[in-house]
Amino acid sequence: MKLHLIPVFVCLAASAAPPAAAQATSTPLTLIVSSETAPAGGWVQIKVFAAAPCQITSGTLNLKLDPAFFRTTGETAVFSATGDAWGSGFMNNRVWGQFTSPSGGIGQLPGLPVLTRSMQVAAGLTTGTTTSVALDLSNSNLNDPSGKPYSITAISGTITVGGTLTIQSVTPGGGPLPAGTVIQIAGTGFDASTTATLDGVSLSPPQLLNPQQMIVALGAAAELTGKHLHLASAAGEQADYFCALPQGGLYFPLTTYESVYSPYPQGHARSFVALNQTRSAVTVTAWQRITGEAEILESVTVQPGELYYPAAGGYMANLYLTASAPIRVMTCLNYIGGVECSPPGPAGSTIAVEPSSSVSWNWQVGTAQPRAASVTLPTLRGGPSNSVSVSPSAQPWLTAQAQGSPFSTLTLTPNASGLQPGTYTGVVTVGLNLPASSAIPPSIPASFR
């Protein structure tokens, strides 16, 4: 008998290519840090651009920041032309971003930043005060599609205290959004003359709520991630912002999933993290399977735009996550030096679980009916339940009955009466029903001769 879980995602651990030795033939790459103006206490989005289109498959960028100039920190984002950028970022008087794009989509589109970071300018600074934002090239590296490091030069940016118009955040900042979706823009210095444009997206005229908040509506369906928002006022002030969903220090690719799977990795604890990029609440269930046992860890409702960190599973368990609608998911492995996250693998793989042999009977006409066969099912804890069905081809000669609460034993009973000599096959499906999504069915092949 074979039990299978279908369909699931196999989490493939992604490992960065080993650093290539510096070579004189490395492709040159110039990075430009944007120069911005913002009032004391206002917000500024620092942007790092490639001077010319390139293909970055992986790397790390370090931005050096003056802790006396900046206070509260906002979100960091990395953008790929193909939407496959993923990684993580940290802040400690500098922005540190580590990221990967298997397609080389980072840096590929002119005008789309490699990396952005929103920062709040310290209150009390006088107008005209400036600070330099530089790339720390000794702790930065970017790789091309062949795995070779680029030879990087950098042009620093300058942040100047002045003006009143700034953008702090855009909500929602990403996800596929239908026409008519109301977009909330937060910042400072908004007035009745402030206009808003979003590259490639139709917007309604802004509706001013107060000097720190205004709203616009989408004129057509759009994915906002990476879109350029430009504000301008009658006084000649301007502010620019590239949209992204808050991601809590992680960079999620645009790929979405309804069910993911993470096999037990030797020596490393791991967990999932999910981002609900939809405009509706999504029910998410985390569960684990250890040999002979399946257990629900928790089932929660994740609100639009929220991050969800499920309860960690056992060290020797296979982890699963199911959602009532497609959401963005990362798998994180815990190491002594920190956490390494990567997207789950593609769908369509099959995970075999115990027991692992099919059930069959050989019967000769005129002899006693074959005996029933008993199959032990995995123990279920914390919420899942089983359902049993027999394929139509086997229903005339096979019955299946599950026993126990929850089901612990499956009895398969053949009935050879009236059958002509030959081979008969069928499948008994034991559905593992989870609170958050449709069944993920194990199936048991059965045959009769």
CATH, residue 400 = 2.60.40
In this structure, what CATH number is given to the domain that contains residue 322?
A: 2.60.290
Shared-domain flag, residues 85 and 222? yes
Q: With respect to residue 406, please indicate whether it lies within any of the assigned structural domains.
A: yes
Shared-domain flag, residues 426 and 279? no
Domain end among 323, 349, 375:
349
Shared-domain flag, residues 420 and 318? no
Q: With respect to residue 28, please indicate whether it lies within any of the assigned structural domains.
A: no
Instruction: Please tell me the predicted confidence (pLDDT) of residue 22.
Output: 43
Q: With respect to residue 52, please indicate whether it lies within any of the assigned structural domains.
A: yes
Shared-domain flag, residues 236 and 302? no
- Non-local (6+) Cβ contacts of 342 within 8 A are 11, 12, 13, 14, 86, 100, 330, 331
Shared-domain flag, residues 52 and 184? yes
Q: How many domains does the chain have?
A: 3
Q: With respect to residue 29, please indicate whether it lies within any of the assigned structural domains.
A: no
- Non-local (6+) Cβ contacts of 299 within 8 A are 283, 284, 285, 286, 383, 435, 436
The CA–CA distances, whole Å, from 113 to 44, 150, 406 equal 15, 17, 53
- Non-local (6+) Cβ contacts of 171 within 8 A are 183, 184, 186, 305
Encode pLDDT of 412-444 as tens digits: 899 888 888 888 888 887 665 554 443 344 444
Shared-domain flag, residues 411 and 442? yes
Shared-domain flag, residues 388 and 331? no
Shared-domain flag, residues 61 and 130? yes
Shared-domain flag, residues 176 and 289? no
Domain end among 219, 242, 265:
242
Instruction: Please tell me the predicted confidence (pLDDT) of residue 195.
Output: 97
Q: Is the dihedral of CA 187, 203, 329, 435 positive or negative?
A: positive
Q: With respect to residue 25, please indicate whether it lies within any of the assigned structural domains.
A: no
Identify the H or E element spanning 170: strand 166-171
Type of residue numbered 249: G
Q: With respect to residue 2, please indicate whether it lies within any of the assigned structural domains.
A: no
In this structure, what CATH number is given to the domain that contains residue 112?
A: 2.60.40.680
Q: With respect to residue 18, please indicate whether it lies within any of the assigned structural domains.
A: no
Which of 26, 19, 53 has the alpha carbon at shortest distance from 151?
A: 26
The CA–CA distances, whole Å, from 318 to 258, 262, 341, 356, 397 equal 17, 6, 17, 17, 36
- How crowded is residue 169: how many other Cβ atoms within 10 Å of its Cβ? 18
User: Which residues of the chain have a pLDDT value below 50?
Assistant: 1-23, 347-356, 435-444, 448
Q: With respect to residue 65, please indicate whether it lies within any of the assigned structural domains.
A: yes
325 burial via Cβ count (<10 Å: 0-12, 13-18, 19+): middle
Chain-centroid distance, C-alpha 154: 31
pTM here is: 0.75
- Count CA atoms closer than 13 A to 239's CA, side-chain side: 31
Domain end among 300, 318, 349:
349
Shared-domain flag, residues 215 and 155? yes
The residue range of the domain holding 283 is: 7-13+255-349
Shared-domain flag, residues 300 and 154? no
**137 by DSSP, 3-state: which?**
helix
Angle at 25 (CA atoms; ends 23, 29), nearest 5 degrees: 100
Instruction: Please tell me the predicted confidence (pLDDT) of residue 384.
Output: 53
Type of residue numbered 58: S
Token output for 19: 């650093």
Shared-domain flag, residues 287 and 306? yes
Strand partners, 387: 431
